[in-house]
Each structure stands twice: as C-alpha cells, then as structure tokens.
Structure 1
Amino acid sequence: EKLEITIYHKSKVYSQNYVRGKPKTKVKIEKCNKSLRGTKVSFVPDKEIFESIFFSPKKLYSFIQMKAVLVKDTKISFSIDKELITDETPHRDKFHYSKGIIDFMQNNFSARKKIIAQDFHVNLDLNFKEKCEIYISFNTLEQSSLMSYCNTIETPDGGSHENAIKNGLLKSIKLYGKKNQFTKINNINSNDIINYSDIIISIFMNEPTFEGQTKKRITMPMLQKQLEDIMQNEFLIWLNSNKKIAVKLIEI
C-alpha cells in the first residue's frame, strides 16, 4: 500500500515514497555521514494483494537469520515489538556468521552423535560467476535434515540442485566401493546416505528457472547434470583422501 525507500551511498542519502507501486514524491537527495551505507525499506502491505497483512515473527526471525548464514560475514539486526510475539521468538537479536554455513551447521548440529568427526564442505564455481556451497554432516541415528536455497531463497520442494547432490553422492560412494571391493556396495541407494545426513545446499544463479509461480522447486536439467558431475568428482576425491572415513560411511 505504501513504501518508502532510503539509500545511503557515498555521503549522500536518497529517498522516495511510493503508493501502490507508483512514485508519490520525487527522489530527495541530502548529505549524510560518509560512514552510513546500505538500503532501508519501510512498507505497509496492500490488503488488495496479500491474503494476510500480518507477518509471523517466528518466520521473519528464521528468514533473516538464514540471510546472514547464506551470505557469510553479513551482520543483520532483528527487532520486533514484544506484544506481537506469541511464542519463544526473541524480540531482538543480532546475526553474524563469519564462516556462514560452516558456523550455522556446527552450531545447530553439534549435539548429533556423528558417524565421523569430519564433515564434508565444498564451494563450487559454476558458470558466469554462479556458485554452489554444500555442507554435509553424517550422524549415527536416522535423523536427517536437508535444506536448500537459491539466491538465499528457500526451495522447500528441492529440484535440480538437490537431485544433483543426491545423485553425485551416491555415484561417488558406489565408485569408491567398487574400486575397493566392498561386497554390499551395489545394494546402497541414496536414502541410505541422505537418511543419516544433515545437509545444506546454497546456490547462486543469474537466471534460475522454477517450477510454477511459487518458486519452491528448481527445474534446470543442465544445471543438474553439471552439478552432479562436479559433486561426484569432489566427493570421490574427499573419500580417497579420507580412507578411514570412507570405510565407516560405507559400512554403517
């Protein structure tokens, strides 16, 4: 319904007001302290567009936290009026993960009893400055979690990037098992691995393709093939470099 945007850049502050998508004022330019940087957006949701104009503090908290996780070393402050909270969500917090996904996974899953002490982590360069980061922790109990994101937006229905990682993992383990003559290797399927894993996948794409309008699932066959091949190679290298770990994973 209403929106005000303020941008701090090179000792100047630019601001403009909008009503239902149309400029209400001209761009206002003023001087400001040169230490000020960034963008501030204030808005009132439009009842004619949104089914509900009320936001869940818990969802907002998680949403903002994951922004700080997926863009490492970013500092984000969270603040909301206490009276709007009806659960255990903090009304005020600060997020900063200097190592991004690594810090988040180690902080949140450290209590899990692990198959192996060493986790798998890799940053992959794709095409045209596109990239993918993967972190996998293997636990002894059948407690799994798989979180995937594209351009910091959650993809709860998975898609090409998740399929690529699952297939790449399975293929690399099977290749390693056959080469080293593990008798039961042919019986292993992707669920045998995923069900004992905590995984986070984050990709940054220039022009991602989604299935439907909700953008919950990525559909990019070429990306899947490329990422699957890279993942297979990277995880196979990791297995060959950590042979004791590889044996534990296959024999679990």
Structure 2
Amino acid sequence: MNLSDDITLAAHLADIAGSVIRPLFRSDFEQSRKADRSPVTAADRSTEAAMRAILEAERPDDGIIGEEYGKHNESAGRQWVLDPIDGTISFMAGRPIFGTLIALMQDGWPVLGVIDQPVARERWVGQIGGGTTFNGAPVTTASCRELAEAKLATSSPHYFGADQAEAYMRVAAAVGGNERQGMIVYGGDCYNYGLLASGHIDIVCEAGLEVYDYAALVPVVEGAGGTMSDWQGNPLDADSNGDVLALGDPARLDDVLEAMG
C-alpha cells in the first residue's frame, strides 16, 4: 500500500493544527464542558475544524471521524480519524505533553498515524509495514528481557474501573523490580506512545479509549517494532472496546496478559 501522498497530507494537517494550537497555549481561551462533563476548549474545536476543512477539500471521497465534530461520510472504506488535542487537561494546565492525533484507517484498520506535539515541535509518523520516524529520523522500540526491567506508563489510574484497576495494579507490581514503587510514569496521554516508539518506555496500559484516542497510535507503535492490542491480546481496529496495551517488545505481551490475570 503506497501511502506517500497520505503521509504528506497528514503532515500538512499536523502543521495546520500546530499553527492553531501554539498561539492559544498558556493563554486565555474559551473552555466549557461537554455532555459527559469532559473539558473542551476553543483550541480543540478550532483545530479540528481546520483539519476537517482541508480533508473535505483534498479527500472528498474519504470519511472523517473526529472527537469534536463526529462522523462524515462514514460508509467510506478510508476514514481519517482526528483528535485535535489528546490530553486537553494537560493543555489547559500548560503542560506540553498533549498531542494532535491523525490517523488513516482502511476498512476499519489503522494504517497510518501521526502523533504531533506542537509546542515542543516533536512529531512521530508511523505506517503499518513502513516504519516510524521521529522528526524525520527512523526510530525503534526497545527490547525488554523481563517485566521486572520494564518502564510502565498510564495517563491516570482514575480512568480504570474497579476490575480494570486490579488488573493494572498486578502489572504495576510486576514492573521495575521494586514492589513499593516500580518504574511507573503517570500522565502523558498520547505522548507516552511516542516515547514508547522511541524506546524510552516499555509498556503503556490504558482503558476506556475511543477510536480517535488510539487509531493513530497503532501505526506509530507497530511501525517502530512494537505491538498494540486490547487486554485480551487482540489487534486493535475501529470496533475495539478501548482497553489498550502497547508494548515496545512484542515478546512481553504474554507476560503482561498473564500478570493481568
């Protein structure tokens, strides 16, 4: 599958997104709550609107799935998936560890993904079967001989339900070789997956994600040599339930699943 034109377009979308987000970062911006009480800002909405306008002009036959403005042409085999600011709370708090997520799915399977951190100007671009780059240079995930050596990340333990929290805590107890603390990073949202693709983190464990939260992450992680799955080890597609594991070393997947119980 030749995705070169799509990669160029995705990079353009990320450039436009960054030009909208940067002037609003650590400034006065409109903010409110959605129906589910999650926060949303003018930056979220303006950024997605700008990307959608380009896609509707450049790829009129493709579909769009966006966090802020929903679905467009949802019967199309090719779907662009947009999360303008993944990590809105971090954006609101002035922490530059949020990111813009851009994915292309073919028949429900993620094939191209971008994680863009517009303030630090850090960008991961991945494609299934085609590698992953960080600011244009190829990157690979790290090997990990055993869970006791692993560095684990999650955005927040508060996102887990009771059963999920128990499974997560069993993994947390297995990593880092330190029963009191382990080697665990909290916060980071999509940024953690970029760090995993670059070999700095070994495992990311999260629950309750939507397709716009994870579609772009799959090609970035897997293009760098890692693996992504649900909590049963199944590959992620448009219909996955949003319970997500990312591993830099695919050989550790069975170990993580066993630890989760």
TM-score (norm 2): 0.27
Q: Which has the higher contact order (CA 8 A, sep 6+)?
A: 2
TM-score (norm 1): 0.28
Higher radius of gyration, 1 or 2: 1
